[in-house]
Chain A
Amino acid sequence: MKRKEKTKKAVQVAIVGGGIIGTLTARELSRYELDVLLLEKEAEVGWGTTKANSGIVHAGIHEDPGTLKARYCFPGNQMFPKLCAELDVSFRQNGILVVALSPEEMDMVHMYYQRGLERGVPVRLLSREEVVAQEPNLNPEVVGAVFAPEGGAVMPFELAAAAMENAVANGAELMVDSPVLDAWVEDGKKYLETPTHIVEADVVINAAGLFADEIARMFGDDSFSILPRKGEEYLFDLELSGLVKSTIFPVPRSKVSKGVLVISTADGNVMIGPTSDDVEDKDDVATSYSGFERIFSETRQLVPGLDPRKIITQFAGVRAASDRGDFVIEFSATVPGLLHLAGIESPGLTAAPAIAADVPKMLEEHGLRLVPKRDFQPRREGVVRFRELSREEQDELIRKNPAFGRMVCRCETVTEAEIVDAIRRGARTLDGVKFRTRAGAGRCQSGFCQPVIMEILSRELGIPVEQVSKRGAGTEPVHYKAKELLAKGVS
């Protein structure tokens, strides 16, 4: 489509990027009488770095003093219980444990403990006996640990999708499949071009994650660069649930990363990872033999009982680290009204609610007048999770809606009613359904339920099965109707 033919649209605030930062920011801004538009390049929100995030709500003891990471991490952590309750997303406050495997490593453990005390982070020093009592499956050679009970676990995609849903319910607008192709300033106004629209905005919030530097450069701002850093993760069968209660951290051996962890996810799976490797390509989400070997040998030192035969899937994500080694949270020095929320690497997920909560203040300082909405609804309509209910509650639900009696995903106990609800809330793809409901996320990795979910998506969205995709155009699992190839030939 030529630029002239594209639809023009004017808003007060345009957010570029629907990751955890963009979606939570959209929700914060939807508290006010503002036109807010979020542009997401993928078919659904939360599909970049957010989707592959480890899901750890950090305690706030790892970050070096004086950094923006330290400034936002602990306050972010403190916001999670209320935020997750309002948005009805899974949150487990299962604590984080940094363990020392040698007397030398205890120095670092003491340092984290002291830092926790200084920052007001609840922390406890645990002796060897206390650690073993709390986590019996840890390496028996553990010397001691620092325990931060308010660390936790969420499903990052679920949180992003829920935040967006709530923002939209409060009047924000979402445009998916809308990558920003170009951006410029003209007569003091900022413009963003997507494949279908020219968006004019008073304020542009750059929450474009891995591509935030590219968005900045489109406006002529080259004040930071994103240095992509990949992390691979390996997820175990739910059968291993409970192997560790908290997320287990080693004492870090490098400045860049917190090390390879044994994670207890919000859904109860054990997961190991992530690696931390600089990559050239921002889309490089390939896993590797060497990545697995490193992760496995390191996490085995923490938890010797990890059995590689119980791994059900693996994935990789790319962190959007900035060349400053810290978050970039500031108005552009050269483009008035361009706010960067960039370089959000770990503990970005934990910090996200605190960063988002700061945005309205920053906009007010910039000169925007914010009038709170009288009818802002912080609570998202609750999601039914069939598997978590009692037998009596399940029985009652089926009587109200028979679709709860149709089990689609047997590994994770997900019913047709839950899938239809996810689609109603914005899922348009197999991954969208999976990340919202867990259907297809279990041990058979959708071998049994994928054809059924395809049918449901096809029916609910009113599209042919061949157009149902894994995660957007180009990722359709089945391409042809039977006999079509015979008619067309292979070539």
Chain B
Amino acid sequence: MILNPNTKYDSGYEHDNVYGHALALLTRHLSRSEESDAVHLDLGCGYARIAEHLTSALGVQYVGVDGDSESVSAVRARGFEAHHLLFREEEPTCEALIRILAGRRVKSLSMLDTLEHLPEGDSVLRVIREIIRRHQAPAVISVPNVAHRDIGFRLALGQWDYTREGLLDYTHTRLFTRESLIRTLNAAGLHVIDSNDVRIARSDQHFPKTLPSLAEGASLHKLLSALREGVDDTADVNQFVVMVLAGPVSGRKPYLEENDQRVQRPFLSVVTRTQGLRPHCLIEAMTALASQTYRDFEVIVVGHKLSYEKQKRIERIIDDCPEWLRNVTRFVREDEGNRTRPLNRGFSEARGEYITILDDDDVPFAHWVETFHQIAEKSPGAILRAVSVRQPTVLVDIWGQKGVRAVGGFTPYPPRFDMLAHLVCNHSPPATLAFPRGVFHDLKLRFDETLTTMEDWDFLMRAAFIVGVASSEEITAVYRWWEGNHQSSRTDHDETEWRRNHDVILNKFDRLPIILPPGSASSIRRMHEATLGPRSESRHRELYRRCLSILTSTSWIVMAPLRWVSKYRGRPSPIAVHDLEGLTVDELENLLRELRSSTSWRLTRFIHRDVGS
């Protein structure tokens, strides 16, 4: 079947290669056959190194089929039935296989590492479906994984090389990820019921060894790996090995059509979580949404652990909204988890290009969505950030109706997103942020459900480390700061719990590679200088002056040839004047010690009395 003049595809059976994995799948689901006419049909059998193990384990007749005459002869020579057949159009192929079977019952079928070579692969899958449908048998199919990290990380740096065989065999006509394989199978009416993928951490595409995206010790590799491993579990899958059954044809094409490529989405999904404890606040939030100047958004109200009465109340509030807002709002019930779960639920339901959190006690200004849209136009794909003001509030009850009373003025949060300041604590309430859907739906970042507070900060930072933040200085939301006895996350969790969550988050930051925005080097330097303090600063100046005096002194300069010889003998290079600037007090002290004890300096003692010693 696989016609490659440059290779024989004769791999032996191993329990951890595709043969072993395929057989493990079959034995997991099939018992040993007692029927004498039950066969296992192996399409694209090659040298059929699975045949002995398969017949022994399943008690079936082995029937191999391949387009390569040499391998068919070799299989027959080992005493197994094998047929020469080229897979072309659907109907003749199906008829030919039926003739080969000659009325025998198909107990199972396999097509291993073959589909990717077939120009008419979809037809062959339909043939497989027809045969296993008639016999109510399972089939095992395997294909190489084009989304193996070795391929992806090489391609990230522009490297793509076909090889004689392997993941990028030059005779491959189709390439598969897990998702595209499932789509292809479903289009042919085949449905995955189990899998047993072959995993190889370093594939045949792991070259060259020191490529920064591939080499395990390189920062770039660590960053890419952290991202890739978060997305799904296929980064180290060499071959997908799946068991399928015949079922309905999905109606989708095996490839993406134009509609799939450009899904119509609202600009923004607003996720509002509520416990139903403050319906009066939710009414305010919904009224503010009804006032938005830019309406390309949807609202997902996630009711968390609501009683029946509370749920009815929330649904009533949604139903009371103006028609257009009601039509873009949906209620989702979540009965599990802590306060973080509704965020994951809401984000997973979100259809928007960007997703924001509007808690039921937040109040956005009329240009809240519009401002996000303006930032997105300028910096697509970054986290969008505007500014909130904090306002202290209390709850009042007047004429039998609960209402919110502001008791203080507005305190704005910082106008720009400062990554370094955010490494210490959060300065961005949720309603000031809109996340590109990709961080949740593609990178698969999730709100950490082990956290009971500050889950938004943790998520923000993990997303910001990767996609960055684009800011607008517009104030677009009021963040309510509850005072008095009103229940809120501040009152629900004690100080110890807040501190514990804070520590957990800081530890998480330390485990992650971080991409800092431009300008961070200066910010860090300034922070470092500030920590030196005035006393350390004068000491720094003094040490700097002394080191500089030595390095620019006549005696040091005249001894340069000697140092060159030392360097030639493998001694470390002496420091250059321009490097002094970046040294700390400790480093300058060490350097001064080294300079004074150096041969150059000692040999010229008699001429450098003028230099600080």
Do A and B associate with each other? no
Residues of B bordering A, CB below 8 Å: none
